[in-house]
Amino acid sequence: MIIVSACLAGVQCRYNGQGFPIPEVTELVKKGQALPLCPEILANLPTPRSSVEQCGERFLAHDGKDLTTELIAGARIALTIAKLVGSKIAILKSKSPTCGCGLIYDGTFSGNLIEGDGVFCAFLKDEKIKVYTEDQFQSLTLSGKKILPL
């Protein structure tokens, strides 16, 4: 089972109340090959909501609210689900404070990116689950067999 950021499957769960649908990801979900998860929704955050960036080890909303406890809890729930379904691969939304892989916003709310991973991504990597962004997923292979594009 592939874990995907729910927004990539078209779920309107992003901070701005929108999805970020990728047709191939949506198709994986429809075929039962992927499970959409949103750590921020699992953290009981509303949609829409103030944008959040990682500031060191804290997660701060643009309005100044500290959401560290909530986002870590949501990421832990998402990780538990990923492990329960035996996931070995995840396709996550780039730059997100929870799902970002390789690059995240720098915490200044100025659009600047820095090297780093979102908290859910980091948890997945700690469990040896391979993580790809929506921009990387077309190169996925599983057991030597190309699984994407569909």
Whether residue 122 is contained in a domain is answered as yes
The beta strands (E) that lie in the chain are given as 2-5, 34-37, 52-55, 58-61, 89-92, 103-105, 113-115, 130-133, 141-142, 145-146
Whether residue 42 is contained in a domain is answered as yes
Whether residue 62 is contained in a domain is answered as no
Q: Which pLDDT score is estimated for 149?
A: 46
Q: Which pLDDT score is estimated for 135?
A: 86
Whether residue 59 is contained in a domain is answered as no
Whether residue 90 is contained in a domain is answered as yes
Q: Tokens 């780093």 — which residue?
A: 116
The mean per-residue pLDDT over the stretch 40-51 comes to 96
pTM: 0.91
Which domain, by its residues, includes 127? Answer: 2-50+68-101+118-146
Whether residue 113 is contained in a domain is answered as no
Whether residue 61 is contained in a domain is answered as no
Q: Which position has the higher pLDDT, 56 or 86?
A: 86
- Tokens of residue 107, six digits: 């915490």
Whether residue 46 is contained in a domain is answered as yes
The total domain count for the chain is 1
pLDDT in tens, 79-96: 999 999 999 999 999 999
- Residue 36's φ and ψ, nearest 5 degrees, are -80, 135
C-alpha dihedral sign at 35, 41, 46, 51: negative
Q: Which pLDDT score is estimated for 138?
A: 67
- One-letter amino acid identity for 7? C
Q: Which helix (H) or strand (E) holds 41?
A: helix 39-42
